[in-house]
Amino acid sequence: MRLLKILFIGDVVGKPGRRAVKELVPVLRQRFALDVIIANGENSAGGSGITPETASELFDAGVDVITSGDHLWDQKEVAQLLEKETRFLRPANYPEGVSGRGSNVYNLPGQQPFGVLNLQGRVFMPTLENPFACAQTEVDKLRNQVRIIIVDMHAEATSEKIAMARMLDGEVSAVIGTHTHVQTADEQIFPNGTAFMCDAGFTGPHESVIGREIAPIIERFLKNTPQRFNVAKDRILLQGAVLEIDSATGRAISIQRVSEPASAASIDK
């Protein structure tokens, strides 16, 4: 059986997150004999949004495909990525005519071709088109080209993520949730061969409130006054999941949580 081994990296937050990717991807690539690296990079620029420069850092560190989510538009420079970079995906359920792409097929040297689909949920999130209807259309299109399909379901509600994965069970190789920055312990393979994890967690400083300095967040909750939410600095982890996919069938063979500490104890945002 020929396996495609994929590392899916949870939301990369700011400079600490980019540093963790740079340091740890080579380590994990060797440890797990990885073939493909996918990362959600929507928070890679100062903790909110993405730019060509931060995307380049992730690509240079070994990331093959970058997905995104509701912070897609937080940096105006993202327009350049949407127009020119085929390795960068936005949620596919934006209305027709929005620049960029929500899915794509990738052919890496020496590897089985694979597809990646990026979706954004609607529960407690900015309203986009129906991700479930969009998923059916996009998956049908991808399945005409490849057997292996990885879905980033960027959503707040666990029910929405689970429902998406249940709907796509047997149609895609994996559905991995992103957005909440809290890694879940529910990794599993559904009956028809689709791997699932409700949230991959986040890559960045975990001595924090989901990547931001603690005190201003508490102050905001206490007083409901404006605060500056800077990226925190300490206890940097790379979080995500390692997938093993049968290249012949596209079915997941295994899924394993990853939460790997970076060596740097502190880093500027």
Q: Would residue 268 count as lying in a domain?
A: no
- In the predicted model, what is the mean pLDDT of the chain? 95
Helices (H), the chain: 14-32, 52-60, 78-84, 131-143, 158-168, 214-223
CATH code: domain of residue 254: 3.60.21.10
Q: Would residue 269 count as lying in a domain?
A: no
How far lies 200's CA from each of 181, 210, 267, in Å?
A: 7, 13, 23
Q: pTM of the predicted model, to two decimals?
A: 0.95
Cβ distance 167 to 177 under 8 Å? Answer: no
**Which residues are catalytic, by number?**
71
Q: Would residue 266 count as lying in a domain?
A: no
Q: How many whole angstroms separate alpha carbon 73 and alpha carbon 226? A: 21
What pairs with residue 205 in β-bridges?
Answer: 236
Q: Is 124 left (phi over 0), alpha (psi -120 to 50) or beta?
A: left
Q: Would residue 129 count as lying in a domain?
A: yes
Q: Would residue 267 count as lying in a domain?
A: no
pLDDT over 70 percentage in the chain? 98
Whether the pLDDT of residue 19 is over 70: the answer is yes
The pLDDT tens digits of the residues spanning 68-85 come to: 999 999 999 999 999 999
- Give 206 or 111, the one with higher predicted confidence: 206
Average pLDDT over residues 161-166: 98
Total domains in the chain come to: 1
pLDDT of residue 269: 42
Q: How many whole angstroms separate alpha carbon 200 and alpha carbon 245? A: 18
**Rounded (10°) CA dihedral 74, 40, 77, 26:** 140
Q: Would residue 63 count as lying in a domain?
A: yes
Whether the pLDDT of residue 268 is over 60: the answer is no
The pLDDT tens digits of the residues spanning 219-263 come to: 999 999 988 889 999 999 999 999 999 999 999 999 999 999 998
Q: Would residue 97 count as lying in a domain?
A: yes
Range of the domain at 118: 3-261
180-205 exposure pattern, b = at least 16 Cβ within 10 A, e = fewer: bbebbeebebbeebbbbbbbbbbbbb
